[in-house]
Amino acid sequence: MENTILCANCNQDVSNDTALFCAECWNKNVTIEEGERQTTLLALAELSLRRPGWLDHLERIADKFSGRKMFNGFRETSADIISRDSRHEHGN
Protein backbone atom coordinates (compact mmCIF):
# COMPACT_ATOMS: atom_id res chain seq x y z
CA MET A 1 0.00 0.00 0.00
CA GLU A 2 1.33 3.39 -1.01
CA ASN A 3 1.65 6.16 1.56
CA THR A 4 -0.30 9.32 0.88
CA ILE A 5 1.56 12.60 1.33
CA LEU A 6 -0.62 15.58 2.18
CA CYS A 7 0.02 19.29 1.79
CA ALA A 8 1.25 20.68 5.10
CA ASN A 9 -1.27 23.51 4.83
CA CYS A 10 -4.52 22.26 3.27
CA ASN A 11 -4.14 18.45 3.35
CA GLN A 12 -4.49 18.09 -0.43
CA ASP A 13 -2.81 14.96 -1.77
CA VAL A 14 0.69 15.81 -3.04
CA SER A 15 1.93 12.21 -3.29
CA ASN A 16 2.99 12.68 -6.92
CA ASP A 17 5.20 15.67 -6.06
CA THR A 18 8.34 16.07 -4.00
CA ALA A 19 6.93 19.13 -2.26
CA LEU A 20 5.47 19.57 1.19
CA PHE A 21 2.87 22.03 -0.11
CA CYS A 22 0.45 21.88 -3.04
CA ALA A 23 1.07 24.47 -5.75
CA GLU A 24 -1.77 26.69 -4.57
CA CYS A 25 -0.54 26.82 -0.96
CA TRP A 26 3.07 27.25 -2.08
CA ASN A 27 2.11 30.34 -4.06
CA LYS A 28 0.28 31.78 -1.07
CA ASN A 29 2.86 30.95 1.58
CA VAL A 30 6.29 31.57 0.13
CA THR A 31 7.75 35.02 0.55
CA ILE A 32 11.38 35.93 0.09
CA GLU A 33 13.44 38.98 0.89
CA GLU A 34 15.15 40.94 -1.89
CA GLY A 35 18.56 39.50 -1.02
CA GLU A 36 17.15 35.97 -1.23
CA ARG A 37 15.60 36.77 -4.61
CA GLN A 38 18.94 38.02 -5.91
CA THR A 39 20.77 34.98 -4.54
CA THR A 40 18.24 32.70 -6.22
CA LEU A 41 18.68 34.51 -9.54
CA LEU A 42 22.48 34.22 -9.23
CA ALA A 43 22.19 30.49 -8.55
CA LEU A 44 19.86 30.06 -11.55
CA ALA A 45 22.24 32.04 -13.77
CA GLU A 46 25.25 29.98 -12.71
CA LEU A 47 23.31 26.75 -13.22
CA SER A 48 22.32 27.92 -16.70
CA LEU A 49 26.01 28.34 -17.55
CA ARG A 50 26.85 24.86 -16.27
CA ARG A 51 23.82 23.30 -17.98
CA PRO A 52 23.24 25.25 -21.23
CA GLY A 53 20.39 22.96 -22.26
CA TRP A 54 18.38 24.21 -19.29
CA LEU A 55 18.56 27.88 -20.28
CA ASP A 56 14.96 28.26 -21.51
CA HIS A 57 13.56 26.59 -18.41
CA LEU A 58 15.73 28.65 -16.05
CA GLU A 59 14.83 31.88 -17.88
CA ARG A 60 11.15 31.12 -17.26
CA ILE A 61 11.87 30.62 -13.57
CA ALA A 62 13.78 33.94 -13.50
CA ASP A 63 10.71 35.58 -15.05
CA LYS A 64 8.63 34.34 -12.11
CA PHE A 65 10.97 36.30 -9.86
CA SER A 66 10.61 39.37 -12.11
CA GLY A 67 14.32 39.07 -12.63
CA ARG A 68 15.19 38.31 -16.24
CA LYS A 69 17.41 41.40 -16.55
CA MET A 70 19.29 40.55 -13.34
CA PHE A 71 19.50 36.86 -14.38
CA ASN A 72 21.08 37.88 -17.71
CA GLY A 73 23.48 40.24 -15.91
CA PHE A 74 24.55 37.47 -13.56
CA ARG A 75 25.09 35.18 -16.56
CA GLU A 76 27.40 37.76 -18.13
CA THR A 77 29.42 38.44 -14.99
CA SER A 78 29.65 34.76 -14.01
CA ALA A 79 30.55 33.32 -17.42
CA ASP A 80 34.33 33.67 -16.96
CA ILE A 81 34.26 32.23 -13.44
CA ILE A 82 32.14 29.24 -14.45
CA SER A 83 34.32 28.63 -17.50
CA ARG A 84 37.48 28.77 -15.39
CA ASP A 85 35.97 26.45 -12.75
CA SER A 86 34.92 23.99 -15.42
CA ARG A 87 38.40 23.85 -16.95
CA HIS A 88 39.93 23.38 -13.50
CA GLU A 89 37.52 20.54 -12.64
CA HIS A 90 38.49 18.73 -15.83
CA GLY A 91 42.23 19.21 -15.32
CA ASN A 92 42.75 21.69 -18.19
- Res 43: pLDDT: 97
Contact 75, 48 (CB under 8 A): yes
pLDDT, one tens digit per residue, over 52-64 is 999 999 999 999 8
Do 9 and 47 lie in one domain? The reply is no
Pair (46, 84) in one structural domain: yes
Residues 21 and 41 occupy one common structural domain: no
- Residues 38, 79, single domain; the answer is yes
What DSSP string describes 36-47? HHHHHHHHHHHH
Indicate if the pLDDT at residue 38 is higher than 80.
yes
Q: Say whether both 54 and 72 belong to one domain.
A: yes
* Residue that wins the pLDDT comparison between 24 and 51: 51
Full-model pTM: 0.65
For the segment 8-35, the average pLDDT, to the nearest whole number, is 79
23 and 65 in a single domain? The answer is no
What's the number of domains the chain is made of? 2
Mark whether 42 and 24 lie in a shared domain: no
Domain, as residue range, for 18: 1-30
